Amino acid sequence: MTLDHNAQAGGPGRRNGFATRAIHVAGPEMLTADPLSPPIYQSSTFAFTQADDYSQALADPGYAYAYTRYRNPTTAVLESALSELEGGTDCIATASGMAAVSTILMTLLSSGDRIVLARELYGGTYSFARSMADRYGVDVAFVDSTDIDAVERALTDRTRVLYIETIANPTITVTDLPVLAALARSRGVTVVVDNTLASPYLCRPIEHGADVVLHSVTKYIGGHSDVIGGALVFADHDLYLRAWKTMILAGGSPDPFAAWLALRGLRTLALRMKRVSSSADALARWLEAHPRVDKVYWPGLDSHPSKALAERLLPLGYGGLLSFDMAGDRDAGRLFTEKTRLARLATSLGGIETLVSHPASTTHRQMDQEALAAAGIGVGMVRVSVGLEDPEDLIADFDQALAVTGAA
């Protein structure tokens, strides 16, 4: 196989000029078997020999590759992998998690429609939904997704979408996917589940009745804090085609190299999710016993309200995100995030390095005081994304940071 042809414009013996030769270069002959790592097709467009194939490829993503905003072979490897792991029919990789959020909401909602969302929600999703209410006449309702009756009451005749997160952040609350999905589906409401915090290793929402699974690939799937990406996985091919049409016009397609990095991260997802789950377990139990800590939020703890649900929905582990409230001063939490030495103060989660943050001033800053309180997010809460370091080192780091913070 060659990656390009060595086209000669004239007959035998005629040599192309310098500029032409700089452009029309033959790729390497592939004498050996397939490369183990998928090639990065860093090409914006793809050439055809038949004009009919070209026009067909623009209309049907499964027919052929035409233009990278529509589909790209490297990106398609990531899409196949995520479809396979989530148990879906199709996947659209996107340039970010928010591109996935905006693509699916623009696909499913028109003005006058209603969407019901969990009130404890990723801040960007919350803001995007609010802007759909303010600017596009969508009726947006936020409900406590742990209150099944409240969700049921919110699902009116005009409701098109129920939007929930498998694990909500920063209270690390697990959502009852099977019950909510059955409820929504019985009313013809499309169920979109943001599965970013669980990853397909810990939970596959389509198995529990979701229509669409959404990921910020930036987090656990990429896993190395080096790429921004997103994905939508579909339980149904027709909805995939509708969303694909939105995506190519809204323009949220990923760069092939970003897709390649995400795929490289995905290879070790299982190992990383096991490790962060066991390290979070050790850290959560240690924090719970610490005199300066009031409360720890991790669904593997008996004290967490989601424990029973987590045992059913997350049989392989409870994930690497935990939060805690420090005793006393509400500013203590914020100060703590400046005093850790290994754990870095940064937004995002799901990477190899442990991160600490203060949700009220960072990830959830778009929520006002009232929305924060309603979602159970304390203003002094510290959120931890446990990384792959040795857990004893993390405990030592937290120990010294708690000591300094308490003394301040």
Q: Which residues contact ligand PLP (rule: CB under 6 A)?
A: 96-98, 122, 124-125, 165, 194, 196-197, 216, 218-219, 228, 230
The question of whether 122 is a catalytic residue gets the answer yes
Question: Which one is catalytic: 65, 122, 240, 318?
Answer: 122
Rounded distance between C-alpha atoms, residue 254 and residue 244, angstroms: 13
The question of whether 339 is a catalytic residue gets the answer no
C-alpha 143, offset from chain centre: 21
Minimum distance from CB of 194 to ligand PLP (Å)? 5
Minimum distance from CB of 85 to ligand PLP (Å)? 18
Measured from the CB atom, the residue of 165 and 176 that comes closer to ligand PLP is 165
Residues 64/73, Cβ–Cβ less than 8 Å: no
Pairing of strands 230-234, 212-216: antiparallel
Question: Which one is catalytic: 71, 114, 204, 219?
Answer: 219
The question of whether 220 is a catalytic residue gets the answer no
Measured from the CB atom, the residue of 293 and 322 that comes closer to ligand PLP is 322
Pairing of strands 382-385, 355-357: antiparallel
Measured from the CB atom, the residue of 230 and 320 that comes closer to ligand PLP is 230
Minimum distance from CB of 219 to ligand PLP (Å)? 5
Measured from the CB atom, the residue of 268 and 362 that comes closer to ligand PLP is 362
Helix axes 391-407, 332-339, angle to 10 degrees: 130
Measured from the CB atom, the residue of 190 and 216 that comes closer to ligand PLP is 216
DSSP track, 72-107: -HHHHHHHHHHHHHHT-SEEEEESSHHHHHHHHHHH
Residues in Cβ contact with 235 at an 8 Å cutoff, skipping those fewer than 6 apart:
88, 89, 206, 210, 211, 212
Among all residues, whose Cβ is closest to ligand PLP?
97
Minimum distance from CB of 232 to ligand PLP (Å)? 12
Residues in Cβ contact with 52 at an 8 Å cutoff, skipping those fewer than 6 apart:
none
* 137 phi-psi bin (left φ>0, alpha ψ -120 to 50, beta other): left
Question: Which one is catalytic: 54, 60, 67, 69?
Answer: 69
Question: Which one is catalytic: 90, 176, 194, 255?
Answer: 194
Minimum distance from CB of 167 to ligand PLP (Å)? 8
Looking at the annotation, which residues are catalytic?
69, 122, 194, 219
